[in-house]
Structure 1
Amino acid sequence: MRIAAISNSRIPSTTANSIEAMKACQGLTDLGHEVKIFAPMEVLDTNVSHLKDYYGLRTKPDIEWLPSHPALKRLDFVLHAHSRARKYGAEIIYTWLPQSAVLALQTGYPTVLEMHADVSGQFGRWWLRRFFNSPGKKRMTVTTQALRNTLESSTRLLFPAGEAIIMPNGVDLAEYANLPTPPQARHLLSLEERLTVGFTGHIYPGRGAELLFELARRFPETNFLWVGGNPETIESWREKVATASLKNVTLTGFVEHNRVPLYQAAAEVLLMPYGQSVSASSGQEIAGVINPMKMFEYMAAGRAIVSADLPSIREILSEESAVFCKPNDLEEWTSSLRSLLKDERRRLSLGTSANRDAEKYSWNSRAERILEGWA
């Protein structure tokens, strides 16, 4: 089928929403669908030739950038995108924008709307209510039960079971096949050979950078590997690390997505040190509904996971696949990490269990479930 994917993400970008959109579209393409992506013209580099490696995709994406004026709140972009989708001959509209989903239904398209956070802005609730009140073939995906509950509360609606489905984020399992052992990965990356604790992703407020820093101070014989982050944030933390004379912290900065699995493989333990309050790249509060892609990557990497104990995280992980700690509780994190670093058997057991669970969350199987009964 021809699918027009209308995304509000900046492409290319290192933000999670940009990566998720590209991976979701790859999943659709892998199923044999023809997918064309429409994205806002907010970048200087619109050369698609490098996007395949940048996002770790198997095929070069078909993408078209369209005008988007900030003052118009994406409405001009949505109108342009739907006009282009018609010319493209789209059979399904797949979007991350409620206003785009409403327009798609009003023009007769079967519509998939992905939601990853609560509605925002003055008209967010109105658009989502309009989506469910509009006739037509539709399906909304939410990443967690917690998010479904939040959206029902925000809109004061009870979503029909068949039109609102829980669909967590995913992982490209092929990228994690036949990973090297931690010592082998460290050798390939020219990292010092010693026990390593890893973290991958951006360091927005609530993502635990301060906790990572304090843990590194408490475990001077263990290497701490931080992968990702924008240049300004990374440089700030490099200065703090140097001031504290920490010799056991490696901050890589941005790493292309297809190389992230190797860095994750270099660690014996992978951390998700979220706080009680977590900000998305947009600044929106998401701690109550968070469903991070790094969680599925960590699982696929087959490494022991230590995570902040948040209800939405427990929708995926369990005591058999992760160690949970109270958010921001340095003493509990210290105790849990010390115990894991001393217990190789437990690390391997947790990693094996997580890896087995990851099999349920491929991008391809996710795409199949989203379009089940439609294609």
Structure 2
Amino acid sequence: MKIQYLAFIRLPTEKAHGVQIVKTCEALASLGHEVELVIPGRQTHILGDAFSYYGAKKNFTITSLHTPDWVNLGPLGFFVSLLWFSEAAKWRKAFWDADVVFSRDAGVLLQYVLLGRPLVYEAHNDPSLASLIVARFAQKVVTISKGLKDEYAKRGIRVSKIAVIPDAVDPAHFEGIVSKVEARKRFHIPEGAVALYVGKIDAMKGADTFTAASAKLADIKAVIVGWGPLAKELASRYPTALFLPPTPYAELPALLSAADVLVLPNSGNYSESARNTSPLKLFAYMASGIPIVASDVPAIREVLDDDAAVYVMPDAPDALADGIVKAIATPGIGSIAKARAKKYTWTARAEKLLSAMS
């Protein structure tokens, strides 16, 4: 099968969607399919190629189209750049030769709904007008959580057209990694008990809740690795917490091994963090074997049962602080989560995608 994956992103990117897209393409190609990832020629501050940055095999091709990079000029610049990219992709022979045109960008697929192309739309956000139009015309709609499937079904998309396929991880990448001592030296993390959060530093992801909880942890060091709009504010407000810049995805297994507990503090105040998500960090956390403390929200409950994590009330710093202490004292839950991560591989996910495409 020839698969055209169209992604209006800069690549490499420190954002999670870059990992998800590259790993999806790699897994589809590993099953014997011809995969081409088509991206715009947007500038990125990350040096090196995407294969090295994400630790992916070069078993698929990445094609960068010459498009204007006006995304930073505001909504109009973003729209014109996206439209240009979508048009440029449409005029390539590979677009018309493909058996499937796949994307998680509704704005890209919107122009193709009347062209008779076999479109597969992977939804990651709450339904919008554009995504609902694409979903109605698409051959298949993939959602990453049951909650997101329900949102599309409520808005008239046939349930039989929707496949729920959560995100994934490479469990093998978490075997034979560096020791905790070596990892802490590499990432400049101090000795002692460490609670680690990796990801975007914003309210939706619960980074503010974690840093507030850190002030209540006398003997546990809070470490936040990532970027986001609240980074400077939270670093100033909570000076005892350690803030580190994003690391390449290929180094994530070593980074996680430096922790005593991994924190997944999704807010319950946003649908995209409570019901309509499938956090990549969740599956990486699971594969690491390190105990997890997580917000008690439906999207995480879809994957992890009570015996595999310590659940706490979302948006509650006191509850999170207590949960962190409990998770450190319950190391066995990490092994349970690690065993369950083995069914959430990128290959298994690709097989489900292919089944949906057919």
TM-score tier by shorter-chain length is 0.7 to 0.9
- Answer whether contact 2:309 2:333 (CA < 8 A) is retained: yes
1:270 is aligned to 2:257: no
Give the one of 234, 237, 240 matched to 1:237.
234
Distance (whole Å) between structure 1 residues aligned to residue 230 and residue 55 of structure 2: 24
SS at match of 2:238: helix
Distance (whole Å) between structure 1 residues aligned to residue 289 and residue 273 of structure 2: 26
Letter in 1 for 2:314: P
- Answer whether contact 1:171 1:300 (CA < 8 A) is retained: yes
- Answer whether contact 1:104 1:110 (CA < 8 A) is retained: no
Letter in 2 for 1:42: R
Task: Give, in angstroms, the shift of residue 359 of structure 1.
Answer: 0.6
Comparing 2-11 and 182-191, the one that deviates more: 182-191
Distance (whole Å) between structure 1 residues aligned to residue 351 and residue 221 of structure 2: 40
Structure 2, unmatched stretches of 5+, are 69-76
Distance (whole Å) between structure 1 residues aligned to residue 44 and residue 251 of structure 2: 24
1:322 is aligned to 2:305: no
Percent of paired sites with the same residue: 23
Alignment match, 1:358: 341
Alignment match, 2:74: none
- Answer whether contact 1:206 1:278 (CA < 8 A) is retained: yes
Distance (whole Å) between structure 1 residues aligned to residue 164 and residue 324 of structure 2: 32
User: Structure 2 vs 1, CA of residues 66 and 18 (structure 1 numbering), >3 Å: closer, same or farther?
Assistant: farther
User: Structure 2 vs 1, CA of residues 85 and 97 (structure 1 numbering), >3 Å: closer, same or farther?
Assistant: farther
| Aligned counterparts, 1:26-45, within 5 A | 26-43=26-43
Give the one of 299, 313, 316 matched to 2:286.
299
Structure 1, unmatched stretches of 5+, are 132-137, 280-284
Letter in 1 for 2:195: V
Distance (whole Å) between structure 1 residues aligned to residue 259 and residue 312 of structure 2: 19
SS at match of 2:36: strand
Distance (whole Å) between structure 1 residues aligned to residue 8 and residue 63 of structure 2: 13
Distance (whole Å) between structure 2 residues aligned to residue 168 and residue 217 of structure 1: 34
1:58 is aligned to 2:54: no
SS at match of 1:204: coil
- Answer whether contact 1:46 1:65 (CA < 8 A) is retained: no
Alignment match, 2:71: none
Number of aligned pairs? 349
TM-score, with length taken from structure 1: 0.83
User: Structure 2 vs 1, CA of residues 104 and 359 (structure 1 numbering), >3 Å: closer, same or farther?
Assistant: farther
Distance (whole Å) between structure 1 residues aligned to residue 356 and residue 316 of structure 2: 46
Alignment match, 1:135: none
Distance (whole Å) between structure 2 residues aligned to residue 181 and residue 220 of structure 1: 25
User: Structure 2 vs 1, CA of residues 196 and 67 (structure 1 numbering), >3 Å: closer, same or farther?
Assistant: same
Comparing 212-221 and 184-193, the one that deviates more: 184-193
- Answer whether contact 2:213 2:318 (CA < 8 A) is retained: no
Give the one of 71, 79, 90 matched to 1:82.
90
1:367 is aligned to 2:354: no
Alignment match, 2:132: 125
| Aligned counterparts, 1:160-309, within 5 A | 160=160, 163-230=161-228, 233-242=230-239, 246=240, 249-278=241-270, 285-309=272-296
Task: Give, in angstroms, the shift of residue 93 of structure 1.
Answer: 1.5
